[in-house]
Amino acid sequence: MRVALTKSFTFEAAHWLPTFPPHHKCRRMHGHSFRVSIVVEGDVNPATGYLIDYGEMRAAYEPVRARLDHFLLNDIPGLDVPTAENIAAWIWRQIKPALPMLSAVIVDETCTSRCEYRGE
């Protein structure tokens, strides 16, 4: 049986988007309550009845959350232009080695705006 599992997390952070026009509101520093969903896909192990322990997903993401939570994203190496698209790809690169079954990273910047990244 093939399944997709999703585990969601939150972090608070500030950013500003230096590539936006000078008059755009996102060019100014502001903050968000980001929501990140990590999706893994694969075949359920018939012996255990599950694909992966959700705790393994949390353990893979926790060091990333600690680097993002309550920081200015622009100051984090690789996030000098911290759009939702770049944040999702950056998170993917950080956790993919620990989660080979990773199939998507979804970043909700607001309750109505999100980016879904599925790797290169």
pLDDT, one tens digit per residue, over 10-64 is: 999 999 999 999 999 999 999 999 999 999 999 999 999 999 999 999 999 999 9
- CATH code where residue 59 lies: 3.30.479.10
Quick check: is 70 catalytic?
A: yes
pTM for this predicted structure:
0.96
Which of 62, 70, 116, 120 is labelled catalytic?
70
Number of domains, the chain: 1
Which of 26, 56, 115, 116 is labelled catalytic?
26
End-to-end CA distance of the chain: 26
| Residues of the domain holding 20 | 2-117
